[in-house]
Structure 1
Amino acid sequence: MELKNATALVTGANRGLGRHLASQLLARGATVYAAARRPETIDLDGAVPLRLDVTDPESVREAARIAADTTVLINNAGLSTGTSLFTGDVEDLRAEMETNFYGPLALTRAFAPVIGDNGGGAVLNVLSVLSWAHPAPLGSYAATKAAAWALTDASREELAPRGITVTALHVGYMDTDMAAHVPADRKSDPAEVAALALDGVAAGLPEVLADDLTRQVRRSLARTPDAA
C-alpha cells in the first residue's frame, strides 16, 4: 500500500523502535497518531499524541473512536520483565501476556472495522526472533511472542477479505532501552529496522526478517530438533 497520505496509529511511539516508526511514517508523508500511556512524552513534531494503554479495554475503544481515519495500525508496544516461567511472579507473567498478546489482539479487533471502513489498509505486528527461539531465561517473553506470531498468521487470513494486509516484523536485539544490557555489537540500529518494516508494509509482505540472526533462526524451523 502507499504510505504517503496514509493515516497510521503507532503504539509505544514515545521511544525506541516505535518512535522511529512514527518518525519515518511522518517523513514518508503519513499522518501519525503517536500513542503512549503518557502522551506528554511524545516529542515528534507533526505527530498527534494519543493516550493509549493497550491493556485497558476502555482506552482501546477511545483510541479507535478518536483515530477513526486510521488505515495503518502498528502494534509495537511491548513489555519484557525477565521473569522466570517457574520461579517468577505470576503477575509479571500475566503483565507480559496482557501487553504482548492481548494488547495487539485488542487493538486489531478495535481497528480492523475502522481500517476496513476506510477502504482497507495494513497491520504491522512487532514480534521477535523469540517467536521461534525459546531460551529458558527468556521463556515468558518468548511465549508471548510465539502467541503473537500465531495471532498474526490467523489475523492475516481473517482480515484479507476486508482488504487489510498483516505483516510480522521479526527482529533480534535492537539498540533500545529494552536491550540496554546487551553488548552494542549484538544490536541492530532501530532506525534501519523501522525502514525495513515500513518497506515491508508498503509491499504487503507477510514477514520482515530484520537481521541475520532472525533469518538464520527462521531457516532452522524447517529442521526437526534432535532428529534421529
Structure 2
Amino acid sequence: MDIRGKVVLVTGANRGLGKAFVTALLQAGAAKVYAGARDVASVNISGSTPIALDITDEASVQRAAEQCSDVSVLINNAGALNRGALLDADSVDNLQHHFDVNTLGTLRVTRAFAPVLAKHGGGALINIISVLSWLSSPGAGAYSASKSAQWGLTNGLRSELREQQTLVIGVHPAYIDTDMTAGIEAPKSTPQEVVALTLQGLSEGREEVVISDMGHAVKASLSTERPIYLTR
C-alpha cells in the first residue's frame, strides 16, 4: 500500500514512537494524519490533526470513530509499561491495567474503526506489539503477558478482517529508545528506524514486521528445542 494520499490515525501520538509515526507519515505524503492522545493539548506536531482519544474509554473511542470517518489506515500504537514482579502485592491490578491498555485498548479501537476501514476498501490495520510477546524479562511480566495476548488478538483480527480486505500487520520491536525504556541498558532501535521498517512493510503488503537483530533472533529461536524464553 502506498501511504501517499491516505488518511491515517495514530493512537498514542503525543510522544515517542507515536509522534515519530505522525511526523514520518506527513513527510511521506499522507493526506491527513490524526494524532490521537488522551490530552490533545499534549500533541504538538505541525500539520497533524489532534484528536481526543482514550483507548480505555469506550465512549471516547466511539467519538473518535465518528469524528475520523475518513480513516483508511489505523495504527494502534498506544501502550503502557509499568514495571513490577508478577508476585508483587499489586500484581493483579498491574496486570489488569496492562491488559486494559495494551490488549483491550487495541480491540476497542479496532472494533470501532473496522467499519470505517471497510468503507474505504479495507485499508490497513497496524498493531505495534513487541518482541516481549514472545518472551519475558525481569519486571516486565505483566507487559509481556498483555503483549502476548495482543499478538494473539492481532492474529484473530487478521482472520476476521480478511473478508473486508483489510491488511493486518503485527509489528514486533525490541527495545526502542524512548522514555518508556529510559534506564534500560540494552541495544535500542530509534523510533525513526521502527517507523521506516513498518512503513516499508506496509508498502510491501507484509503481515508481520520484526524489528532489529534481537527481534529476529528471538523469533527464530521459537521453533528450536531451547527457545530464548526458556533460557533468559
The answer on whether the counterparts of 1:21 and 1:198 sit within 8 Å (CA) in structure 2 is: no
CA distance in 2, matches of 1:190, 1:94: 27
Matched, 1:143 2:145: yes
- Residue in 2 aligned with 1:77? 78
Matched, 1:114 2:108: no
TM-score, length-scaled by structure 2: 0.94
The answer on whether the counterparts of 1:26 and 1:32 sit within 8 Å (CA) in structure 2 is: yes
- Residue in 2 aligned with 1:10? 10
Letter in 2 for 1:100: N
Q: 2:172 aligns with which of 170, 173, 183?
A: 170
CA distance in 1, matches of 2:114, 2:27: 25
Aligned residues: 226
Partner-residue secondary structure (3-state), 1:124 = strand
**Worse-matched range after superposition: 40-49 or 130-139:** 130-139
Q: Which runs of 5+ in 2 are unaligned?
A: none
Cα RMSD, aligned residues only: 1.4
The answer on whether the counterparts of 2:82 and 2:140 sit within 8 Å (CA) in structure 1 is: no
1:224 positional shift? 3.2
- Mapping of residues 26-65 of structure 1, within 5 Å: 26-30=26-30, 31-65=32-66
The answer on whether the counterparts of 1:71 and 1:115 sit within 8 Å (CA) in structure 2 is: yes
The answer on whether the counterparts of 2:94 and 2:142 sit within 8 Å (CA) in structure 1 is: no
1:29 positional shift? 1.1
CA distance in 2, matches of 1:56, 1:114: 19
Partner-residue secondary structure (3-state), 2:170 = strand
Matched, 1:153 2:143: no
Q: Which runs of 5+ in 1 are unaligned?
A: none
**Worse-matched range after superposition: 26-35 or 134-143:** 134-143
Letter in 2 for 1:220: S
Letter in 2 for 1:145: K
1:28 positional shift? 1.1
1:88 positional shift? 4.2
1:26 positional shift? 0.6
CA distance in 1, matches of 2:129, 2:35: 19
> Deviation digits for residues 55-112 of structure 1, max 9, x if unmatched?
0000000000000000000000000111222214122221111000000011110101
- Residue in 1 aligned with 2:126? 124
> Deviation digits for residues 129-184 of structure 1, max 9, x if unmatched?
1010123431110000000000111111110110101101101111101001123x
1:225 positional shift? 3.9
The answer on whether the counterparts of 1:10 and 1:73 sit within 8 Å (CA) in structure 2 is: yes
TM-score, length-scaled by structure 1: 0.96
Partner-residue secondary structure (3-state), 1:58 = helix
1:7 positional shift? 0.6
- Residue in 1 aligned with 2:107? 105
1:204 positional shift? 1.6
